[in-house]
Amino acid sequence: MRTSLLILLTLIPAFMHANDTHSCARPQEIAVRHLSLKLSLNFEKKIAEGSAVLRLERKPGFHDFWVDTKQLDIQSVVDEHGNNLKYELQQEKHWMGRPLKIVLNDNTQSVNIAYSTTPESAALQWLSPEQTEGKKHPFLFTQGQAILSRTWMPIQDSPGIRFTWDAAISVPQDLMAVMSGNNPQEKSADGEYVFRMNQPVPAYLVALAVGDLAFEKLSDRTGVYAEPSMLTRAASELEDMEKMLVAAEALYGTYQWGRYDVIVLPPSFPFGGMENPRLTFATPTIIAGDRSLTSLIAHELAHSWSGNLVTNVTWNDFWLNEGFTVYFERRIMESLYGKDYADMLAVLGFQDLQETLEELGAQSDDTKLKLALEGRDADDGMNDIAYEKGYLFLTSIEKKVGRTAFDAFVKGYFKEFAFSSISTEDFVKYLNRRLKLSEGVDLLANEWIYLPGIPAGIEAPVSLRFMQVDAVLKSWTSGEIPATGLVVNGWTTHEWLQFIRHLPASLTDAQMKELDATFGLTKSGNSEIQFAWFMAVIPNHYVTADASLEAFLRRVGRRKFVLPLYTAMLKDERLSAQARAIYKDARTGYHAVTMQSLDELFAKK
């Protein structure tokens, strides 16, 4: 039974092709090769208005050009000869949006689409001055991944379609615009900014941020953008960026994108980080003051290879982006800070994976690396499986073939597929071709990729430093040693996370108070520690922290934090009404991505 199933599974790849069900585009017929964007921003109306010129590659015989749009106002479509083209916006299909069909003339090589975004456009978050650090100027940022780029530009919004682009962006004079391309380091005199990206990228990697920004150089090719009042802290936190870049290049080859900068955004940014080429977008919640949360930067930097250079061809292959990136991120951290450090990250990641497996059920299709997201929003299947199961799979290969062979393989993989979008099946073919296995060694690739859960016999990562933490925790929970007597000097954020995550849910108020008074957890300036602590505060009914928890939920919009917190509060009788009240009030301050997940959560209960 088992054998025949595996034989069947090995046949699957032959029948698969990279059909992206999350885009209406038909790139085999007509594909975008270059985008020229011209936009002027109106912060009062919360819209961007202008045009997108799409230069096309056409197969003979096809005239219908399919473009993804959502929450856009399309005003006209003209070709390069000045001819108006017939176009038709199709019915809205929830997450897909409204496919735009443009009828091309025989001689049309490019189309100019005049359009504006709408205040509903989900990729864009328009922030009031109060939502920024400086409180004086408004702010705007975009978030394209997974399928939101179509809400701020009419485009073939599929990770399998790559194009070069340029942009002219007009903003209020006191603001600076930056993009996922070549960037200014100072404000322009007139609010006009031009950008370009000469390497082909998919639509989800085109991004824009506008605000009262300043730049600080970190090395000749790295630097940081942030609001002026945040800049010094941001620059000091990210001081090791050049070292990360050097380590990354030593591992898997030359960085291909020229500069590597980071912009630290206001706290409503819905993710920890987003790997926009040349300019990672980051949450300010990584600024801890002690550089302890910078593995996130290593992660986004690693995407410059896995994700941006070699891209998942559809969102079903998302693990190719994230699994490789988590593996690469931990290798960067290992080379900078040692194996001990990377081991802690691996163990925390494994805990996240266990939790996700429990939530989804180990037999759930969503626990397969190769996803089947047809008929669903791409965002729905994106969870820790791609990251942590993907990481474990790659680690298991490394263990079987040895690090030297595996590193050569990964380096070759980035070289072979640079600037292209590939499927899981392309990866497997390359794996089979390039990794010579010793007798009796089986990578179990089919099982890892096409079956749910984790293959039997996989060992959990271990951390020696965490074993000490566990002992310290035990000596406290058993009543043997009071909090003030615990030996915690030298603990990094990660050891604290291990400690806090394993606190029982049955502590007394006196015990919670004791920890809090000794270690200042409620008032911690470290967002990861605060988050983990609040997750313990909720089931332990530690009333003292309620106000700080509420303040955190109102300030921070990072989905990874607020979704689990609201979820836990809703499950708790004491806090569920309060969760609803806070969300009702804070909702419009969140980015659409976070809002959508929270709306679903609050509708469920």
Residues binding ligand BES (CB under 6 A): 145-146, 271-275, 296, 299-300, 303, 322, 382, 387, 560
Nearer to Zn ion, 133 or 384 (CB): 384
Position closest to ligand BES via CB: 272
Q: How far is the CB of 300 from ligand BES (least distance, A)?
A: 6
Q: How far is the CB of 581 from ligand BES (least distance, A)?
A: 27
**Chain centroid to CA 245:** 19
Helix 241-252 vs helix 318-337: crossing angle, to nearest 10:
110
Within 132-171, the residues that bind Zn ion by CB under 5 A are none
Token pair for residue 427?
């990866």
Q: Which residue has the tokens 């039997």?
A: 456
Token pair for residue 441?
């060694």
Instruction: Pick the stretch among 9-17, 104-112, 322-330, 547-555 that binds Zn ion (CB under 5 A).
Output: 322-330
Using CB distances below 5 to 8 A depending on partner kind, what does residue 146 bind out of ligand BES, Zn ion, none?
A: ligand BES
The continuous run of DSSP H or E covering 561 comes out as helix 559-571
Nearer to Zn ion, 325 or 498 (CB): 325
Return the ∠ at Cα 309 (arms to 306 and 311), rounded to 5°: 65
Using CB distances below 5 to 8 A depending on partner kind, what does residue 561 bind out of ligand BES, Zn ion, none?
A: none
CB proximity list for 437: less than 8 A, separation 6 or greater: 400, 401, 443
Residue 139 backbone phi and psi in degrees, to 5: -145, 150
Which of 227, 237, 300, 334 is catalytic? The answer is 300
Q: How far is the CB of 248 from ligand BES (least distance, A)?
A: 15
Instruction: Pick the stretch among 163-171, 325-333, 459-467, 548-556 that binds Zn ion (CB under 5 A).
Output: 325-333
Nearer to Zn ion, 318 or 499 (CB): 318
Instruction: Pick the stretch among 39-47, 64-72, 133-141, 324-332 that binds Zn ion (CB under 5 A).
Output: 324-332
Nearer to Zn ion, 387 or 499 (CB): 387
Token pair for residue 153?
């530009």
Q: How far is the CB of 182 from Zn ion (least distance, A)?
A: 23
Using CB distances below 5 to 8 A depending on partner kind, what does residue 274 bind out of ligand BES, Zn ion, none?
A: ligand BES
Which of 252, 337, 387, 566 is catalytic? The answer is 387
Q: How many helices (H) and strands (E) does the chain have?
A: 19, 20
The continuous run of DSSP H or E covering 471 comes out as helix 464-477
Q: How far is the CB of 297 from ligand BES (least distance, A)?
A: 9
How far apart, in Å, are the Cα atoms of 189 and each of 40, 170, 174, 393? Answer: 16, 11, 9, 51
Using CB distances below 5 to 8 A depending on partner kind, what does residue 272 bind out of ligand BES, Zn ion, none?
A: ligand BES
Token pair for residue 221?
């090719």
Nearer to Zn ion, 325 or 511 (CB): 325
Q: How far is the CB of 599 from ligand BES (least distance, A)?
A: 17
Residue 387 bears catalytic tag: yes
Largest CA distance in the chain: 83
Nearer to Zn ion, 267 or 273 (CB): 273
Say which DSSP state 210 is in: E
Say which DSSP state 437 is in: P
Using CB distances below 5 to 8 A depending on partner kind, what does residue 145 bind out of Zn ion, ligand BES, none?
A: ligand BES
Token pair for residue 1?
């039974």
- For CA atoms 373, 375, 378, 381, the dihedral sign is negative
Q: Which of 373, 382, 276 is nearest to 320 (CA)?
A: 382
How far apart, in Å, are the Cα atoms of 310 and each of 194, 231, 307? Answer: 27, 32, 5
Using CB distances below 5 to 8 A depending on partner kind, what does residue 20 bind out of ligand BES, Zn ion, none?
A: none
Q: How far is the CB of 403 from Zn ion (least distance, A)?
A: 23
Helix 2-15 vs helix 424-434: crossing angle, to nearest 10:
110
Using CB distances below 5 to 8 A depending on partner kind, what does residue 238 bind out of Zn ion, ligand BES, none?
A: none
Residue 300 bears catalytic tag: yes
User: Which residues are paired to 168 by β-bridges?
Assistant: 38, 194
**Interface characters, 279-318, with Zn ion (x: CB under 5 A):** ----------------------------------------
CB proximity list for 434: less than 8 A, separation 6 or greater: 409, 412, 413
Nearer to Zn ion, 329 or 447 (CB): 329
Please give the residue ranges that form the binding site for Zn ion (CB under 5 A): 322, 325
Catalytic (active-site) positions: 300, 387
